[in-house]
Amino acid sequence: MEKILITGGAGFIGRFVADELIARGNQVRVLDSLIEQVHGDTDRPAGLHPDVELVRADVRHGDAVAKALKGIDSVIHLAAEVGVGQSMYAVERYTSVNDVGTAVLMEKLIENPVRRVVTASSMSIYGEGLYVDADGNTVENAERQPRTGADDGWDPLDSQGRPLTPLATPEWKRPNLASIYALNKYVQERTTLILANPYGMEGVCLRLFNVYGQGQALSNPYTGVLAIFASRLLNGQVPMIFEDGEQRRDFVYVGDVARAFADALVLPQAAGEVFNIGSGNDRSVTEVARELARAMGRNHGEPEIVGKSRIGDIRHCFCDTTKAAETLGFRAEQDFGEGLAELAEWVAEQTADDRVAEARAELEARGLVA
């Protein structure tokens, strides 16, 4: 049995990770600042396991972090500001919490080393996912050209103007950082791996794809897309989808993600490695919006297709799960339909402020929607 610190552990993913670790016989301490945008006005979020020791503090505050590390054997680092769109204008805030917060944590770990640190990274670091061109060549650095008219397509093209075909993205694909959030997550990842080993610790990073499940922050318009859709549907609105809705993503259930963190914390072969954590299945965003509406029984009409893109968004990125399966023995187990049904049942008991239009207006006012 170990005593484990989860930074950001009162959040959506952190609560499931804490449950999984406690179920495996560990003690859990959580350090979380409980920001209003995510948690609302609360001193202890609903759903946080009663056996969790909660320390309310900012990960950038060195003294609080040092105190939280006392008696700790391992760390799972989840603390982060989350959201591609908001990161493109709240630059100082995101960089401070994500990058400086990780630096503070690692400095305090240098003074109080632990056995292992597992840090949450993100699929966003890839930018566009892996593609193949018409000649069968893989393309790691696909980029979309600015659209000049309504008839222009949304997908990346090769140098001859031919469409590229998206492939599942493996860990060896080089990063292509398209947003401040992506840059932040890559810095968190590399900081962990650069500093852990020289100070006698083991570092592991998990690149999470689109995590969904009950307990998401429904009133946060910059959170996961399924939570945003659920908030709209709960308030009698249709989901709002940027571009044409055919962008493809990988949705992975939060309980599967929690299991991946717990395994990455203990398996010897995980040390020093980076792993994709996803379901291995890709779906269009429009398809997902329709399925959620059916699961919630809220068929208000077809999703609103905005026909515009947000700066920092990418077209296609979904998960190659080979490395996690072969090295960690990890495979997502939750059926997507069953996971949506569970999410819908939970959402039906919630209230949420629909702030999606407000967030879109904020981005448009700053020239971040085109």
Instruction: Domain ranges for the chain, please list them.
Output: 3-130+167-365
Q: Compute the mean pLDDT over every residue in the chain, rounded to the nearest whole number.
A: 93
281/188 Cα distance (integer angstroms):
26
Phi-psi group of 101: left, alpha or beta (phi > 0 → left; psi -120 to 50 → alpha; rest → beta): alpha
Convert 282-321 into a string of H (helix), E (strand) and C (coil). Answer: EEEHHHHHHHHHHHHCCCCCCCEECCCCECCCCCCECECC
Q: Are 78 and 11 in contact (CB under 8 A)?
A: yes
What angle, rounded to 10 degrees, do the helices at 225-234 and 356-365 form? 120
In the prediction, which pLDDT does 278 show? 98
In the prediction, which pLDDT does 79 show? 97
User: Which segments in the chain show pLDDT lower than 70?
Assistant: none
Sheet with 131-132, strands from edge to edge, namely 138-139, 131-132, 165-166
| Phi, psi (rounded to 5 degrees) for 322 | -60, -50
In the prediction, which pLDDT does 310 show? 85
Helix, strand or coil, per DSSP, at residue 65: helix
One CATH from 3.40.50.720, 3.90.400.10, 3.40.50.11890, 3.30.300.90 for 3-130+167-365: 3.40.50.720
Cβ count within 10 A of residue 337: 11
Helix, strand or coil, per DSSP, at residue 169: strand
201/195 Cα distance (integer angstroms):
8
In the prediction, which pLDDT does 6 show? 98
Beta strands in the chain, from DSSP E residues, in sequence order: 3-7, 27-32, 53-56, 74-77, 116-122, 131-132, 138-139, 165-166, 202-208, 210-212, 240-241, 248-253, 274-277, 282-284, 304-305
241/249 Cα distance (integer angstroms):
13
User: How many residues are present in the chain?
Assistant: 370
200/328 Cα distance (integer angstroms):
22
199/213 Cα distance (integer angstroms):
36
Instruction: Indicate which residue of 126, 131, 181, 186 is catalytic.
Output: 181
Check residue 100 and report its DSSP letter. I
In the prediction, which pLDDT does 370 show? 73
In the prediction, which pLDDT does 201 show? 98
In the prediction, which pLDDT does 219 show? 75
230/39 Cα distance (integer angstroms):
17
Q: Does residue 212 carry a catalytic annotation?
A: no
In the prediction, which pLDDT does 80 show? 95
In the prediction, which pLDDT does 369 show? 80
In the prediction, which pLDDT does 98 show? 97
In the prediction, which pLDDT does 42 show? 78
30/313 Cα distance (integer angstroms):
31
160/157 Cα distance (integer angstroms):
8
In the prediction, which pLDDT does 356 show? 74
